[in-house]
A = this chain, B = another copy of it.
Amino acid sequence: MTYCVGFRLKAGLVFASDSRTNAGVDYISTYSKMHVFEPAEDRLFVLLAAGNLATTQAVVNRIQRDLRDRHQGFIEGGGSSLGGRPDLCTARHLFEAADYVGHLSVAVQQDFAISLRQAGASGEASFILGGQIRGEEHGLCLIYPQGNAVMATDDTPFLQIGESKYGKPPLDFVGHTGLSLEDAARLCLISELITRRSNLTVGPPFELALMPADRLRISRRIKLEQDSREVRRSLEIWQACMQDGLRRLPRFAWEEDPL
């Protein structure tokens, strides 16, 4: 399992991911699910991946191959390995970049669809793609296994893939587009840690990337182990806040009138 979250703020974008991959409960390994692409000086993308690891790795490999081929002159013009469709270098808008990743994902899944179906396995994968192309605002998309995508908005500023339920309430309760990059990163980290506590197929190290608006660079990128100061302290503080919350919750009517 996996849990990734992206947050679109006025101040920029925040990305968070865990690093656990498992095939059953007896084959657990560690893979980064956060990929940064700087295809040209006027654009920057961060891709978070969840789902079948063979699919997500193949998608990342094909993106990298397309970028390499273009830089080496094997691809020219607006098209990509997907025919006339723009790639990360030539997309003029974020939604075109999402469209490219979505079509790559579907193409990879189709390559193995018959054998996966015969094995009763799923090759599905989901992605969060965020970034900025100069001249456009920064943006964030969730790309479904079927290749289509939805974008984060002011009303729905965060997007999640993978094991999304345990960690959603803190984002729902205190997340909004006015947070600083650092506060949103703390909130995404606690969302990861809560999820990890309830589902052991989500696991460390946890990765965070902060991308300020209009700078076309990742300002901070860190990887936190379970025994890091940030993780230990975050869990302690969150537990203390919940304990405090429980103490402050309203008494029932019969407790207020002990007669």
A251 is contacted by which of B166, B168, B182, B241 (Cβ under 8 Å)? B182
Residues of A within 8 A of B (CB): 165-170, 172-174, 182-183, 185-187, 189-190, 194, 197-198, 220, 222, 229-230, 233-234, 237-239, 241-246, 248-252, 254-255
Residues of B contacting A187 with CB < 8 Å? 246, 249
A169 touches B198 (CB 8 A): yes
- Residues of chain B within 8 A (CB-CB) of A194 are 169
A250 CB contact (under 8 Å) in B165, B237, B242, B248: B237
| Cβ-defined contact, B182 with A252, below 8 A | yes
Q: How far, in angstroms, from A87 to B222 measured CA to CA in the complex?
A: 59
Cα A244 to Cα B243 in complex, Å, equals 12
Nearest residue, chain B, Cβ from A187? B246
Query: In the complex, which of the residues B168, B185, B222, B255 contacts A166, with contact meaning CB atoms closer than 8 Å?
Result: B168
The residue in A190, A242, A254 that gathers the most chain B C-beta atoms within 10 A of its C-beta is: A242
In Å, the complex CA distance between A255 and B180 comes to 12
Copies of chain A in the complex: 2
Q: B238, A245: Cβ atoms under 8 Å?
A: yes
A227 to chain B, nearest CB (A): 14
Report which of B166, B174, B238, B242 forms a contact with A165, defined as CB distance below 8 A.
Answer: B166
Nearest B-chain residue to A190, judged by Cβ: B249
Contacts of A252 in B (CB 8 A): 182, 185-186, 220, 222, 230
Name the distance in Å between A217's Cβ and chain B's nearest Cβ: 15
Q: Known: A166-B165, A166-B168. Is A174-B250 also a contact (CB below 8 A)?
A: no
Alpha-carbon distance A215/B22, docked complex (angstroms): 47
Q: Given A166-B166, A168-B198, do A173 and B255 touch, yes or no (CB 8 Å)?
A: no
Q: How far is the CB of A100 from chain B (nearest CB, A)?
A: 32
- Which residues of B have CB within 8 Å of A165? 165-166, 198
Would A230 and B250 count as touching, CB distance under 8 A? yes
Query: Chain B residues near A238 (CB, 8 Å)?
Result: 173, 245, 249
